[in-house]
Amino acid sequence: MPEYPHLESSNPNYYDFTLNTSTIPSVEADTTYFEAGNMQYKQWTGRAKRIRDAGSPEYCSGNLSVALAGVGEAYRASASGSTSLLTLLPTAGALIGAPAKELWVLYKLVPLAGFLSSVLSLGGSIVPHQVSDYASLEDFSYNDMPNNNATDGMLRRRVSGKTWSDQFELDVQQIAEHFADQVYARAMDLRGSSKTWKIGLGICGLIVCVLLICGACYMLSAGSIVVWWCEAENWAFTWYSITIFSSVFENYANTPFAKDWVMRISRAPHLRISTDAPWSLLSDQTTAQPVIDALKKGYNTESRVIMEHNVPWSASKDAFYVIISRGGVRRGHTILRLVSKSVSVAAFVVSTALFASSTLLQFQPAILVMALVLSAGIFGRVTAMWISAVIMRDRPVLHRIVKTKKEASVFMEAILRREGMVCEVLGHVIVNGRCVKRRSKLTWSTIFGVLAKPFDVSSIAVVSSA
């Protein structure tokens, strides 16, 4: 090559090696591209837009071939290295962190934050797959409440990974009554919380992390083109959408519980309830059926309660959660796990194919995209764990693992039998064992969890004139 002297001699001399001005367009393009600090973002994105504006996949591919022919070997080597770097993104989920039960708690207590955590997991699972990972009274129960029950010492968990029935030869009803005592003690606790702003700040942090990844996807799609999907202007968002679906699906499928029943509990004010309000308790019904089945079918009721006009009252400002989980995996859930694995494999294959087939990729945007995505994923995991820690300081959840649906009904009925509590469960509001209102299962608590206010019983109250 005439522009590079002394390279073809038998005894090359590099002391006077110089690069003369080249007239080859591809070499000139590389010379301009590799100037110090010259990213030329507008030209980079403008070239991709011009290629895609061809109007058809055939013309777009033709324009792409012309553009590739106009760059030099140095540019191609740089683009190849950038592409190789981004092919690591489908495996980024493994770098974010191991699954943690705190994130399962976060998903139950603040569903919005839990969903954002799944979105930021980049294809990885955030919840443990084994029941034993969740069987910890120290993390899930409110043991600081005073209790004079004689069996309290016996009922402390000794062996991780076993349900109450596995560990103690006590009647399930007795264990359920003790658990209901804990729930009642927690409901009567007057200590409030001022951490709502911290949780809100954490959720905003998670949203910022998601926006950072979206910004990285926009930058990547704007300037690089996938060879076999030439006209796709937002192909990086396709990768992120596939990753989100795979993450959420896998986290749902790998939960080790066959079923969860969630109750929102708060302290009730003093009131009187109509005697014809439906009983939700098994022993008080003419037709015996489990409490869970009765609530699932629903009660046809719209009630009014009476609050004395000359009697002061107070109620909880914040609700806490009771989660009763049935251990084990159903047959349908097993199939769902197999499907989730197939989806994860397919997502990995498609994602790798997208990045490996991308062209005209500059190394500066590639490094920036990699840094933004990984930083957002790692910071999102740290933020989610911080939110969970902040929430758990107030002991907002009591969790029990049972073996059967019948045991779950026994625990639920024991809780509903306690007076002085407002229980929101399966689309019903139950006070003192009676259903006072049937409401939609889709409420603000479905999104914001413990941040949502408990049901206001005074909204269905009539003030007594007596």
pLDDT band at 20 (very low <50, low <70, confident <90, very high): low
Query: What is the rounded CA–CA span in Å between residue 7 and residue 417?
Result: 92
Distances (CA, A) of 376 to 185, 207, 215, 368, 369: 41, 10, 11, 12, 11
Rounded to an integer, the average pLDDT of 435-439 is: 86
Share of residues in the chain with pLDDT > 90 (%) = 30
Residue showing tokens 């792409």:
64
**Token pair listed for 247:** 């993450």
The values of phi and psi at residue 262, to 5°, are: -110, 130
Query: What is the rounded CA–CA span in Å between residue 340 and residue 246?
Result: 7
Q: What is the dihedral of CA 94, 98, 102, 105, to 10 degrees?
A: 50
Weakest-pLDDT range from 81-90, 160-169, 388-397: 160-169
Rounded to an integer, the average pLDDT of 342-358 is: 93
Which has more pLDDT, 191 or 136? Answer: 191
Is the pLDDT at 424 greater than 50? The verdict is yes
Give the predicted TM-score (pTM) of the model.
Answer: 0.81
Query: What is the rounded CA–CA span in Å between residue 63 and residue 364?
Result: 24
Is the pLDDT at 147 greater than 50? The verdict is no
Rounded to an integer, the average pLDDT of 61-81 is: 83
Provide the pLDDT for residue 13.
54
Q: One-letter amino acid identity for 139?
A: D
Is the pLDDT at 7 greater than 60? The verdict is no
Provide the pLDDT for residue 30.
56
Is the pLDDT at 192 greater than 70? The verdict is no
Is the pLDDT at 286 greater than 50? The verdict is no
Q: Is residue 114 a contact partner of residue 255, using CB atoms and an 8 Å limit?
A: no
Provide the pLDDT for residue 378.
93
Provide the pLDDT for residue 35.
56
Provide the pLDDT for residue 207.
97
**Token pair listed for 383:** 């933020």
Greatest mean pLDDT range, 88-102, 182-196, 235-249: 235-249
Is the pLDDT at 132 greater than 90? The verdict is no
Phi-psi region of 407 (alpha: psi -120 to 50; beta: other; left: phi over 0): alpha
pLDDT band at 322 (very low <50, low <70, confident <90, very high): very high
Rounded to an integer, the average pLDDT of 6-33 is: 53
Query: What is the rounded CA–CA span in Å between residue 164 and residue 303?
Result: 37
As to burial, measured by CB atoms within 10 angstroms (0-12 exposed, 13-18 middle, 19+ buried), residue 94 is exposed
Rounded to an integer, the average pLDDT of 123-131 is: 78
Query: What is the rounded CA–CA span in Å between residue 67 and residue 46?
Result: 12
Rounded to an integer, the average pLDDT of 113-122 is: 93
Is the pLDDT at 139 greater than 70? The verdict is no
Distances (CA, A) of 143 to 32, 110, 137, 150, 388: 69, 22, 8, 15, 18
Express each pLDDT in 249-270 by its tens digit: 988 888 888 889 999 999 888 8
Is the pLDDT at 158 greater than 50? The verdict is no
Provide the pLDDT for residue 279.
74
What integer best gives the mean pLDDT of the chain?
80
Distances (CA, A) of 52 to 46, 47, 57, 355: 10, 9, 8, 18
Which has more pLDDT, 162 or 322? Answer: 322
Q: One-letter amino acid identity for 300?
A: N
Mind spelling out the 3-state secondary structure of 303-352?
CCEEEECCCCCCCCCCCEEEEEEEECCCHHHHHHHHHHHHHHHHHHHHHH
Provide the pLDDT for residue 27.
54
Is the pLDDT at 387 greater than 90? The verdict is yes
Is the pLDDT at 127 greater than 70? The verdict is yes
Provide the pLDDT for residue 194.
66
Provide the pLDDT for residue 373.
95
Is the pLDDT at 426 greater than 60? The verdict is yes
Provide the pLDDT for residue 124.
80
Which has more pLDDT, 128 or 379? Answer: 379
Weakest-pLDDT range from 59-73, 272-286, 451-465: 272-286
Q: One-letter amino acid identity for 464?
A: S
Express each pLDDT in 361-378 by its tens digit: 888 899 999 999 999 999
Is the pLDDT at 274 greater than 80? The verdict is no
Is the pLDDT at 17 greater than 60? The verdict is no
Provide the pLDDT for residue 103.
86
Provide the pLDDT for residue 310.
66
Greatest mean pLDDT range, 216-225, 265-274, 390-399, 428-437: 216-225
Share of residues in the chain with pLDDT > 70 (%) = 78
Query: What is the rounded CA–CA span in Å between residue 286 and residue 328?
Result: 32
Which has more pLDDT, 133 or 214? Answer: 214
